Amino acid sequence: MRQTDLYVLRRLLVALGAATGALCPLLLLATALRFVDDIVERGAALEMFAVLVFLALPYLAGVALPLALLIAVLVVYVRMASDSELIVMRAAGVSNLRLAAPALALGLATMGVVAWNALVLAPSSERELRDLQSNLKDRFSLLFAQPGVFRQIGRNMTLFVQGATSSSEYSGILLQDDRHPNRRITYMAERGALTVTDGIPRLTAFDGSRHEIDRETGRLSFVYFDLNTIEFNLPSAPKRSRSRRERTLGELLNPSPEEVGPANVAKHKAEGHFRLATGLMPGAVTAVALACLLLGGVSRRGQSFRPVLAGAIAFGLLVAAYAVKATVAKLPSLAGLQYAIGVAPIVICFALLALSGRRRSTSA
């Protein structure tokens, strides 16, 4: 690789890192809004909230990386044009295709990362995210009791805590247990901790008392304790049906009509083809940006229009990819369009860049 290629590639990598860093806060904000209910209504701890956001990021990365790459290419090549570096390189005999080579190489590497993310990382992260949300909603929600709020546990238990000393340790605990048909048990403790062991939620109470009322005789008995462990025998959560975003590529391309329903077979296949085609988008937006910036020579008047044109076309490709996925879900015979959106810009722009170099050498 020539020194000029390394020079351009270094600038592209710096710009890509800066663009990714600028998009990260927006991604985090958009992702965090999905889990407001888990914080407000279910009282999830901040540590759990951070885990939820982290697991949701891979799906957004499939859109963020092509956008960050587009921004990096536009910034670097527009800056090189404004500093007359492109003019000097062309005067030294560097063709448009050679000028585009560092960006194309970076686009190829990004294609591999996006494809791996879409096929492997994002589905597994989404599966863990949905499992965690399901547990948080059902069994693990007990771990995040809100001070001053009576929380219903199952059908026959009510929990109240006066204060919280940490994410799962509380003070001023009151627990009413009506699981037994012939008696009512009330626990009061100065402090306690809520844990989950082997999938079973437990309350470990310290320095408290146990009050039991016989419903038939009305007799009250109580006992003081230093340590007492109460298990919450909650009913097992129903089996959760997996969404398309959680399924592997093989499950999407070969769905079982009995499992997903005959009406959803086409939607699963459209999602599978979309994942395969997602890896082409970084190369497509890179090729479009390079063609808009490098073809037709260098003019300072055109430098303000070309980046806007490149950004508009590239953004249109990303929007069209999602629109075609929705269309293919209704018309499976159009599945090839999902690949054409990524392949066609790469082939056309690459050919234009190559032909521009030949025309230039012929005219010279």
Strand, coil or helix: 314:
helix
Q: Are residues 84 and 62 in the same domain?
A: yes
Q: Are residues 133 and 256 in the same domain?
A: yes
Q: What are phi and psi of 45, to 5 degrees?
A: -70, 160
Given CA atoms 60, 62, 65, 66 in this order, what sign does their dihedral have? negative
pTM here? 0.71
33 or 248, which is more confident?
Answer: 248
**Using an 8 Å Cβ cutoff, are 65 and 21 in contact?**
no
The model's confidence at residue 261, banded by pLDDT at 50, 70 and 90, is confident
| Domain closes at, from 231, 259, 293 | 231
More reliable by pLDDT, 286 or 55: 286
Fill in the DSSP letter of residue 168.
Answer: S
270 and 352 housed in the same domain: yes
Is 334 a domain residue? yes
Q: Are 210 and 225 in contact (CB under 8 A)?
A: yes
Bridge partners (DSSP) of residue 227 are 206
174-215: pLDDT as tens digits: 988 888 888 899 999 999 887 777 667 788 899 999 999 988
Greater confidence, 303 or 65?
65
Residue 258's pLDDT band, with cuts at 50, 70 and 90, is confident
pLDDT digits (tens, 9 = 90+) for 135-164: 666 555 555 567 888 877 767 888 888 888
pLDDT for 363 equals 46
Question: Contact, 321 vs 270, CB < 8 A?
Answer: no
Same domain for 18 and 134, yes or no, is yes
256 in helix, strand or coil? coil
Non-local (6+) Cβ contacts of 291 within 8 A are 310, 348, 349, 352, 353
Binned at pLDDT 50, 70 and 90, residue 296 comes out as low
- Considering the domain boundaries, does residue 130 fall inside one? yes
Contacts of the segment 36-41: beta carbons below 8 A, 24+ positions apart: 38/133, 38/136
Range name among 90-94, 217-221, 246-250 with the lowest pLDDT average? 90-94
What is the pLDDT averaged over residues 11-19?
Answer: 92
Q: What is the pLDDT of residues 96-118, one digit of tens each?
A: 888 899 999 999 999 999 999 99
Same domain, 250 and 352: yes
| Whole-number Å distance between alpha carbons of 202 and 229 | 7
Least trusted range by pLDDT, from 24-33, 216-225, 260-269: 24-33
Residues 308-320: what's their mean pLDDT?
A: 89
Out of 203-212, 234-243, 295-304, 328-337, which region has the weakest mean confidence (pLDDT)?
A: 295-304
15 found inside a domain: yes
Q: DSSP H helical segments within 92-193, as ranges?
A: 96-116, 122-137
Which neighbouring-strand residues pair with 206?
Answer: 191, 227
* C-alpha distances out from residue 68 to 63, 315, 332, 342, Å: 9, 12, 31, 17
99, 199: one domain: no
Q: Using an 8 Å Cβ cutoff, are 45 and 141 in contact? A: no
Is 284 inside a domain boundary?
A: yes
Judge if 127 and 223 occupy the same domain. no
Report the half-sphere exposure of 134 (CA within 13 A, side-chain side): 14
Note whether 25 and 120 are same-domain residues.
yes
Which residue, 188, 207, 231, sits at the end of a domain?
Answer: 231
- Residue 238 placed within a domain: no
Average pLDDT of the residues of the chain: 82
Task: Specify the pLDDT at position 362.
Answer: 46
Provide, rounded to the nearest whole percent, the portion of the chain with pLDDT above 90. 25
The percent of residues in the chain predicted with pLDDT above 70, rounded, is 83
Specify if 239 maps to a domain.
no
Give the tokens for residue 288: 């479009």
Same domain, 123 and 159: no
99 by Cβ neighbours in 10 Å (0-12 / 13-18 / 19+) ranks as: buried
pLDDT surpassing 80 at residue 323? yes
Residue 340, amino acid:
A
133, 152: one domain: no
Same domain, 110 and 249: yes
Q: Are residues 12 and 129 in the same domain?
A: yes
In a domain, 204, yes or no: yes
What would the 3-class secondary structure string for 123-138 be? HHHHHHHHHHHHHHHC
Q: How far is CA 109 from CA 115, 122, 286, 325, 331, in A?
A: 10, 18, 12, 24, 32
The domain in which residue 219 lies consists of 147-231
Q: For 33-70, what is each residue's pLDDT tens digit?
A: 766 655 555 555 566 667 777 888 888 888 889 999 99
> Is 237 part of a structural domain of the chain?
no
Chain position carrying tokens 């109460």: 230
Q: Which of 186, 208, 231 is at the close of a domain?
A: 231
**What total number of domains does the chain contain?**
2
